[in-house]
Structure 1
């Protein structure tokens, strides 16, 4: 396997630090609002990576953090007390910061689960790891890479000029960097120094600060990930991932503080690209955004996942009003083949192994577009076998298709009922099968009127029936 390493700016061979195992940390949500499409694209990209590492025989430990304390969470909570909620919203009334964070954390989990993203081995919250953060800060202070603020704010800063490797992830020089937007610059030695610990302010709500050797306060954003990655994956682990927008300052600062504390940290840095709307950056101010919830209102979850996972993870993914229709057509082609192959072979089929070309594509920096091309070519080959009533080849193609869709997280193939609900899909399968049996009986008794009536009834419900030498097959009308 070969993956692109942002730090070295090249594709290089992936060799696990511990044979047979892989550790993956990717940045989760700052739970200050509803998930946006960039969040779920990132989660799907690293879910596909996880599935591929597992397919290649590795035991993968995945850690995805939750940032449940930060300025925006506190600001939104404070606004709810000052102004109340908008009419019709949040009927529980005004909301404490921790309740607000937990509510949005559940929304993220719901989105991840709906889109088939596997739960990580650990999903630590920042507020649950304050002692580990204190230890890391103390270590950095002792090593001369951090210092308490020069005023009496209680802040603690990382000294960027003390670490020669600062800027190595994004290949920037310290003097060319913008000032870090932390607290009062009078407390810093250099305006580019970033906060490890933020001293408590009189306006902070009760419970939003913790005692520390430097005074009451709360952690800086960058510090959280270093502490949690180290706790659960050790001082050296295989892959750190996240969205392209996190490279600087977040990941740059993570790398600096971790390596300055003597940790090797991540062996690979992998970043997924952004989602755009018809070629432009999504922006609420110009009204060209679409949320995961809106997508799920337009198409079943598997279709949304197909769309969000179809591009190369490092590339830009462009959304257009027709994108979900195109994804739905692609998913339906796969599902139709699976249904028909199961009908011809007389059994559900089981995933076998992926074709060699699919494996080569995935090994080559997780080239999902090329892998999808192999998937659809296998579907076409399988359909040719179906047309020739070649049950052996159809079964072979079915096993390969099921293996590929499992790797891509589309492994509920054949269960795409209304809203992507497997129970609804099973009910639909049973009802249509019963109707087709009744139609076959009518045709056998030469009751053509009854057979036509059943076919017309199914057509009116959006079920298209096609007769073949092997019996009737059905698809849902696109």
Structure 2
């Protein structure tokens, strides 16, 4: 599937240190590329049933920053992202609005592309629609069934039985709780809240996740190696990440609401399929609130990228507003966020066009500070502060500094 246009990224003298990031699984900082010259990144993509909200944008900007720092550090970067273009929320929205689910998905994917282009997010090398991978995913589910990791649960209202993953069956590279570190009661609560079905009768363990949903009347389905139906959520990412990037990848990324069950179960599926860990690090972005509640499609308290752009916002200011917060923090968006970012951007633009003013010999130190901050767990607020301090301290602009802000923060000045 087509991604979006690649923004230009300047080459700047010097290099960033290899970045360390916070790994949710271990609870500490790690260099997920230690000893490697290649970085492999997989970020869970959108379910395309509504516009790109600021929570989405902040997540993709965080991992865009990681890719930019890796490249500045001299690493070869490979990046894959899926689009869950068949799933219950999408089907429900299409039915509510009386539109074809394929048309709804296509329109929202196109909007997402345009928003990512406006924000100058580097596109994935592989932008993968789940609907294009159903046959391959079904083959993986069949393998799990053959090797004893998948089992059938009788499903009288379907054309065949649903297939589930046995979380208690031992694997070489994963056991339940390895990636999330959560206790069972918390897992059960989150499973019920986030698309699982812990109350379903016939499962071996209440936490066992769905691998394959047998065909139901009125639902999309595909003929496959395990009968007619469609994939479960977690197995999609396991298969796409493994096929496109090879396992283990460097970083599995997404919002913190994916820690459990999505990333936990994706890791379990990968271990059962490939006898390898899914990733060297699991990196998660915080949640953004608006009007006192987490931004959520279900709550309807969305602040969308498209809405801000349509109201005349400079996409660079949107990007700067989001990068002014630590990627892993939970925080609340206020309308003043954009006002402050617009003011800051005007100051940066004025600095970028003010050649021959200030102390040019400070520029190398400023560049080193910016690089050090983004390499330290993607500390973009620290990098933004380094630019502010340089301007306030009278550091003269240089073309290399302007290019570095573009290369690492994705903000083209002047």
**TM-score (norm: length of structure 2):** 0.85
What runs of 5+ residues in structure 1 fail to find an aligned partner?
A: 82-94, 346-350, 386-393, 415-478
Instruction: Pick from 340, 351, 362 the counterpart of residue 354 of structure 2.
Output: 340
Residue 399 to residue 379, structure 1, CA distance change in 2 (3 Å): farther
Partner of residue 167, structure 2? 160
- Corresponding residue SS for 1:124: strand
Q: CA RMSD in A?
A: 2.5
Instruction: Call closer, same or farther: CA 1:257–1:326 in 2, change over 3 Å.
Output: same
Matched, 1:138 2:142: yes
In the alignment, the residues of structure 1 paired with residue 256 and residue 69 of structure 2 have an alpha-carbon distance, to the nearest angstrom, of 21
Counterpart of 1:419?
A: none
Q: Which structure 1 residue ranges, 4+ long, deviate > 6 Å from structure 2?
A: 284-287, 351-354
Alignment check: 8 A CA contact 1:65 1:124 kept:
yes
Higher RCO (C-alpha 8 Å, min separation 6): 2
- Structure 2 vs 1, CA of residues 361 and 231 (structure 1 numbering), >3 Å: closer, same or farther? same
Closer/same/farther in 2, CA of residues 109 and 16 from structure 1, 3 Å limit: farther
- Give the corresponding residue for 1:219: 231
Q: Is the 8 Å Cα contact of residues 352 and 397 (structure 2) preserved in structure 1? A: no
Indicate how the Cα distance of structure 1 residues 175 and 315 shifts in structure 2: closer, same or farther if over 3 A, else same.
closer
Specify whether residues 174 and 159 from structure 1 end up closer, same or farther in structure 2 by C-alpha distance, changes over 3 A only.
farther
Distance (Å, rounded) in 2 between the aligned partners of 1:284 and 1:119: 24
Q: 1:361 to 1:80 in 2, by over 3 A?
A: closer
Deviation of 1:61 after TM superposition, in Å, equals 0.8
Return the alpha-carbon distance in structure 1 between the equivalents of residues 278 and 148 of structure 2: 19
> For 2:29, which of 11, 17, 22 is the aligned residue?
11
Matched, 1:326 2:343: no
Q: What is the CA deviation profile of residues 50-108 of structure 1, one whole-angstrom value per residue up to 9, with x for unaligned ones?
A: 11111111111111111100112222333344xxxxxxxxxxxxx32211111111111
Between the aligned partners of 1:340 and 1:177, the Cα distance in structure 2 is 55
Q: How far 1:362 sits from its partner (Å)?
A: 1.7
Question: Does the 8 Å CA contact 1:16/1:22 hold for their aligned counterparts?
Answer: no
State the 1:282 CA deviation. Answer: 3.5
- Aligned-pair CA distance for 1:183: 9.8
Structure 1 residues 176 and 364: alpha-carbon distance in aligned structure 2, compared to 1, 3 A threshold:
closer
For the pair shown, which has the larger CA radius of gyration, 1 or 2?
Answer: 1
Residue in 2 that maps onto 1:185: 200
What do residues 208-243 of structure 1 show as CA deviations (whole Å, max 9, x unaligned)?
A: 211123321001111111110011001211111001
* Secondary structure of the structure 2 residue equivalent to 1:123: strand
Three-state SS of the structure 2 residue aligned to 1:185 is coil
Secondary structure (helix, strand or coil) at the match of 1:290 reads: coil
Distance 2:374 2:185 in 1: 40
Q: Deviations over 1:115-140 (max 9, x none)?
A: 11111111001011122212221222
SS at match of 2:354: helix
For residues 293 and 319 of structure 2, what CA distance do their matches in structure 1 show?
21
TM-score (norm 1): 0.74
Counterparts of 1:96-175 in structure 2 under 5 Å? 96-152=100-156, 153=158, 154-163=161-170, 165-174=175-184
User: Where does 1:431-450 land on structure 2 (aligned, <5 Å)?
Assistant: none
1:362-405 Cα distance to aligned partner (Å, 9 max, x none): 22111111111111222234xx36xxxxxxxx354x52243123
Question: Structure 2 CA distance, aligned partners of 1:235 and 1:28?
Answer: 19
Instruction: Return closer, same or farther for 1:219/1:248 CA change in 2, 3 Å cut-off.
Output: same
Following the alignment from structure 1 to structure 2, what is the Cα–Cα distance between the partners of residues 211 and 399?
A: 55
Distance 1:339 1:395 in 2: 8
The residue aligned with 1:62 is: 79
Determine which structure has the larger helix proportion and give its number.
1
Give the Å deviation of 1:268: 0.9
Q: Deviations over 1:245-267 (max 9, x none)?
A: 11111111101111122122211
**Does 1:277 pair with 2:290?**
yes
Paired residue total:
379
